[in-house]
Amino acid sequence: MKCKIELNVEITLTPDEQHAINWVEAALNRAAEVEELPPVEVSVTIVDNERIHQLNKEYRDVDRPTDVLSFPLWEPDEEWVIDEEEERVALGDIVISLPKAKEQAEAYGHTLDREVGFLAVHGFLHLLGYDHETKEEEEEMFAKQEEILSLVGLHR
């Protein structure tokens, strides 16, 4: 397993929501393989809109809920530090709003499984330094996301 995931769920889940959350591990492990990473560790926290709104305001000064936030533990120009005890690189934290994921799955006409997988991979790629500030960056990042999601069977 390339990616060790510490999953924290701060809300009560229905069986369908739990099923969707189960895709996080497969999607992030495939992302780590596609990116040819050494063994890595990521924390993923599932929250409600209120909590992600609070984090978005506190860390990004954006006063609204969002779908996913990423908090890398390193800067792109730094070398990775391998935790000798774990023998893994700690990449950082991903926070996903499950209510926002549900809204977006419905709006985009695909499954909650697909949306949760998408948000997890999107956050993971941000931890690796990918961004979508320019058209070129967006095309590269979104193509990578689609490749990874397709490989785990989460199609549109």
Short-list 6, 30, 66, CA closest to 144 = 30
**Pair of tokens at residue 49:** 């809109």
Full DSSP string of 43-69: EEEEE-HHHHHHHHHHHH---S--SEE
**Which residue is associated with the tokens 């924390």?**
43
Q: Is the dihedral of CA 19, 24, 30, 31 positive or negative?
A: positive
Please check if 53 is assigned to a binding site. Answer: no
**Residue 19 is labelled as binding a ligand:** no
Helix, strand, coil shares of the chain, percent, nearest 5, are: 50, 20, 30
Q: Is 155 annotated as a binding residue?
A: no
- Show binding-site residues for Zn(2+): 122, 126, 132
**Binding site: which residues?**
122, 126, 132
